[in-house]
Structure 1
Amino acid sequence: MIINKGNISFEASIPLFEEAKTSNESVQCVLNIKTGEINSVAIIKNFYFKIALTEEHFNEHYLESDCYPKALFKGRITGFNWNFA
């Protein structure tokens, strides 16, 4: 099963500071329905913030998206069972 419109979101806001909340709605994910193996990839620069400076700091200082343009996740869902019946 392949999904091209997955979503990752997070919030790291703290009171009295600018909001640090974002999401990426173009995450790709592949699920092997026989084994429960899951792989996903997100392009870091597809996380958008309300405040441009927050986005700049996120990409340049925190995630260094020019050096590390993608976030990868590989795993296996334990106890996965595709059978719904």
Structure 2
Amino acid sequence: MPVVFRHQDFRFYFFSNEGNPREPPHVHVLKDGIDAKFWLRPDVVVAYNDGFDARTLRELTEIIERRRNEIERAWNDFFG
């Protein structure tokens, strides 16, 4: 599970096997056993949420929007 970055106690990562065919670029976020998945394009949106409250989801969306290029670069570097 490649970790793209950490922010506070959140881990932003993707799985090394993202489906067959591979899903479009996205990022998973984990903290304290709670996780969510965010699509990166065309806009950053929540794909699923397993327990984060609305405020946290908004904050995570903002972080991902600011760092979307970094996340996509890590995705493309890993998957080629």
Question: Taking structure 2 as the reference length, what is the TM-score of the superposition?
Answer: 0.33
> Higher relative CO (CA 8 A, sep ≥ 6), structure 1 or 2?
1
Higher strand share: 1
**Is the radius of gyration larger for structure 1 or structure 2?**
1
Higher helix share: 2
Question: Taking structure 1 as the reference length, what is the TM-score of the superposition?
Answer: 0.32
